[in-house]
Amino acid sequence: MIKLMLTDDHAMVREGLKNLLELEENFDVVAEASDGLECLNILKDGNTADVLLLDINMPNMNGLEVLEQLKKLKVDIKVIILTVHNEVEYLLKAVEVGIDGYILKDSDLSVLKTAINSVYNGEAYIQPDLIPSLNAKLVTKNADQELIDSLTKRELEVLKKMAVGLFNKDIAEQLNISERTVKNHISNIFKKIKVVDRTQAAVFAIRNNLINVF
């Protein structure tokens, strides 16, 4: 019997999932939570489940934040993200944090059952039709990382400040260097990350989470 925990801020979603899953003789829903913080508190209090089905967008603490805390606390539970988001950025972040499974909420029950059984047996499971876009994103990310690594510490500082919209004069004042030096750094940055203007440089910085845009 695989013990499951459901965490979703929509009661109807939890109830529907519970009813579907408990039709399977080897699944038992042993705990539920309506948001990320409640989920974390339940698991911290020693309530055990084998697999956690976790929504990403929830109040108080989102799914990825819950996952990060579970990893830090070394809670022994497999985690499957259940989400409406098919954007590869969400999937990539989940993979980086250390997700065990990732499927979309509009998937067939057979996909969910396969995911649960897979992660319970120690295998990672990502919904198959999401894998090509993930692989493409990983290739781009790896290529970008090589470009980032080519930047000096000072160039990286200049790139971040340029990406948030600071002018050369402002950058020079904040870094206590001359405007001419800033211009030289920007020229080198453009060459190294293969862009031609400040807008493209900003997009590069945002894409690689070098700045916080929120």
Judged against a pLDDT cut of 70, whether residue 52 lies above it is answered with: yes
Note down the domain range covering 161: 150-207
At 142-187, the pLDDT tens digits run: 778 889 999 999 999 999 999 988 999 999 999 999 999 999 999 9
Q: Which of 31-35, 103-107, 192-196, 209-213 has the lowest mean pLDDT?
A: 209-213
Residue 100's alpha-carbon distances to 51, 69, 193, in angstroms, are: 9, 15, 33
Q: Give the number of domains in the chain.
A: 2
Same domain, 98 and 155: no
Q: What pairing do the DSSP bridges indicate for beta strands 78-83 and 125-126?
A: unpaired
Please give the pLDDT value at position 214: 45
Largest interatomic CA distance in the chain: 71
Which domain CATH number covers 17?
3.40.50.2300
213 falls within a domain: no
Percent over 70 (pLDDT), the chain? 98
Length of the chain: 214
Q: Are 75 and 31 in contact (CB under 8 A)?
A: no
Please give the pLDDT value at position 134: 76
Same domain, 100 and 201: no
